[in-house]
Amino acid sequence: MVTDQTSAHDPLHGYLPKGWSWEEYQQKAESDPQGTILAAKRSMADHVQAMLAFHEMGSQPSTTAQHPPDGAGSGRQQRLRFRLRAGISAAVLPRYRPFRWVALSGDPQDIYKPTRK
């Protein structure tokens, strides 16, 4: 199983772009927030491509994200969204309840979304 634990909902403050040091991220997030967001989204796209590659080799990718990091949002990546949702529901939720959720969105109601039927 390939799992995903990212803060993809906030590309500026929640995702360190691939190849950047923490110091570089801190400097660029302040001086060039739009460039930092773009770099984070490119990294997210690479992240999803890696998850797709693992899936094509037989692994079951899964995520706890409401919106998996999708970068460009291609049709292939859109298909992965369904697989990711199905993966977390089928493989993880039944075995590890109760989950401890955090509403990174800031909306307390989001805590209840993963287990709604």
Residue-wise pLDDT for 86-98, tens only, equals 555 556 566 666 6
Q: What is the pLDDT of residue 84?
A: 60
8, burial (CB in 10 Å: exposed 0-12, middle 13-18, buried 19+): buried
Q: pLDDT (tens digit, 9 = 90+) per residue, 5-52? A: 666 778 898 889 999 999 999 999 999 999 999 999 898 888 878 887
